[in-house]
Amino acid sequence: MSASSYAEFYRRSIDSPEAFWAEQARLIDWQTPPARILDDSRPPFVHWFAGGKTNLCHNAVDRHLAQRADQPALIHVSTETGSERTYSFGQLHEEVQRVAASLRALGVAKGDRVLIYMPMIPEAAFAMLACARIGAIHCVVFGGFASGALASRIEDAAPKVVVSADAGSRGGKVVAYKPLLDEAIRLSKHKPEAVLLTDRGLAPMELNPGRDHLDSDLAAGLKSTDVPCEWLDATDISYTIYTSGTTGRPKGVQRDTGGYAVALAASMKHIFDGRPGETYFSTSDIGWVVGQSYIVYGPLIAGMATLMYEGLPTQGMDRGPDGGIWWQLVQKYKVTVMFSAPTAVRVLKKQDPALLKKYDLSSLRALFLAGEPLDEPTARWISEGLGVPIIDNYWQTESGWPIITLASGVENKQAKFGSPGVPMYGYKVKILHESTGEELTAPNEKGVVVIEGPTPPGFMQTVWKDDDRFVNTYWKSVPGRMVYSTFDWGIRDEDGYFYILGRTDDVINVAGHRLGTREIEECISGHNGVAEVAVVGVADALKGQVAMAFAVPKDSLALTDPARALALEGEVMQRVNDELGAVARPARVRFVSALPKTRSGKLLRRAIQAVCEQRDPGDLTTMDDPTSLQQIRQLVQG
């Protein structure tokens, strides 16, 4: 393609959105074609493909049966149980219908809510697709949530049925889901009518008579499992998913049906360059938006096999340590496109680099990374190790698909380390001054990254049951401008590439100097003695705030030898001083064996900050390893 092909592609999406998206809409099946492509008559609310009727499950499963019924659709690999299973499109069709019939038997109809609280097992994908098939609204809650967090989501979603399992497993440790679910239902003001359970045989389950049903027993009693797709209006709700907010109240991101289907089909073609019959491997979890968009719906809509993985990135099929398990799977299933997170790559960075060369990775065309900013040292390490393009991509639960990245299926633009890339088609991304709302157009001017309406297909419709919260939270934070705020700082270079500098609410104000944590973290992570780092702003009587860094050293002796720790701290301080200036130099760099994270791998910076300031760190139900925060507390107090 010509050097200007993506620029022209993008320009058409912005200047002629109706013609552009009408063209993309042909990538999916419609039972009734849309009568109107774009309705943005009531900003910031947007309706795409009004009058059209379609179904996500039909586009992900049924439409492929004529040509690829026997081809792999869902590949499930669990290093927790040492199991592998492949479902063809034909078999997936049967499994999804069976769950759909079971949900119907429990009284679920179009528009009803179904909450899914599941480990990474095929039945979770079957349940999502079954909901889409019958027009029910699914709400997937991350399986790592404890009862209190789950209860608040049950209360907000008000599901007719909850779909769950006896247990999940992480690092060989069984996590019983059923007792957590029972307690959550007890705590919730809303009580679901029924619970549908998969018994994996990992933990004993006590069934609540009349409410709880084993999926195997219920399916065995069905007269028929033939469930046709319910054709939905394009603007009907497909699902809700909860994301963190500034308050403790859950914030349900609400997604449509037609716009989401078109957005995913287009992204699989234009961004990921995914092709029918190939294999896509996303290492995320279905409890997060990446898992919903790019484990379940996106790859299947594209006619690809999707690899669903349960286990750690360093855990082999025999449950022993194996830092090459993902690359082994790439070789075995001929993965062409892979999607992971920078945190996972930093974990692998601690493994033997020879593992990157041990397997045949010739099928792999690109590795996409998202979920948090990708630092340059990590990007460079994995790029050199794999020898394939490493493509960062920036987006949010709210957007449903990438906002800023490189559209590999349109043009092979050169990636820049540290930058996710350029705005994707349909997104009018700007950088505005936080106080004046003025657009910053000069290269490397730092401001808030915003999106001008109308937002493209697949973007959130609103906050579930709360239009006012949608408008006030996202569209009114920049003075004098109705624009969607990402709440992220960013800059744009002279070539139009964006760089994300951290959350606007993670800003450190040191003696009047506003510093993004990302800038300091990237500088520190560039030191070859540092594996991982988190930087937070801590209250200081003199300067307002000071930066405090917590780093995982590559040399574990720095954790026990004070002299080594002091020497390494001095080198890190000097590096920041040299690269960013004395104002950005942390007050201390403390060394820890692990950083506190959620089970999905996101750093708990606010919890670290709270501990440093001797405040309550808040809800830690999603925390992976509680001892990591205890270690920080001991260091700070000591």
Residue 204: count of CB within 10 angstroms of its CB: 11
Q: Which of 361, 397, 163, 126 is nearest to 260 (CA)?
A: 397
Amino acid at 78: S
Contact 295, 124 (CB under 8 A): no
Which residues neighbour 349 within 8 Å (Cβ) at sequence distance 6 or greater? Answer: 378, 381, 382, 531
Residue 18 tokens read as 């109706």
Longest alpha-carbon distance in the chain? 74
Q: Flag residues of the chain having pLDDT under 50.
A: 1-3, 246-248, 512
Phi, psi of 74 (to 5 degrees): -125, 120
- Report residue 77 CA to chain centroid gap: 20
C-alpha count within 13 angstroms, C-beta hemisphere, residue 308 = 29
DSSP string, 96-107: HHHHHHHHHHTT
pLDDT of residue 1: 40
Q: Are 116 and 128 in contact (CB under 8 A)?
A: yes
- The CATH H-level superfamily of 511-637 is ANL, C-terminal domain (3.30.300.30)
Whole-angstrom Cα distance, residue 397 to residue 377? 26
CA distance 140 to 292: 9
SS3 at position 459: coil
CB 246 within 8 A of CB 505: yes
pLDDT at position 512: 47
Gap between the terminal Cα atoms of the chain: 60
- The domains of the chain are located at 5-474, 511-637
User: CB of 100 within 8 A of CB of 138?
Assistant: no
- Strand extents, DSSP E, 445-512: 447-452, 462-463, 484-492, 498-503, 507-510
Could you tell me how many residues make up the chain?
A: 638
Cα separation, 78 vs 88, whole angstroms? 18
Percent helix, strand and coil across the chain, each rounded to 5?
35, 25, 40
The strand ranges marked E within 43-188 are 45-50, 53-54, 72-78, 83-88, 113-116, 137-140, 161-165, 167-170, 173-176
Structure confidence at residue 520 (pLDDT):
85
Task: Decide yes or no: CATH 3.90.550.10 for domain 5-474.
Answer: no
Q: What is the pLDDT of residue 594?
A: 92
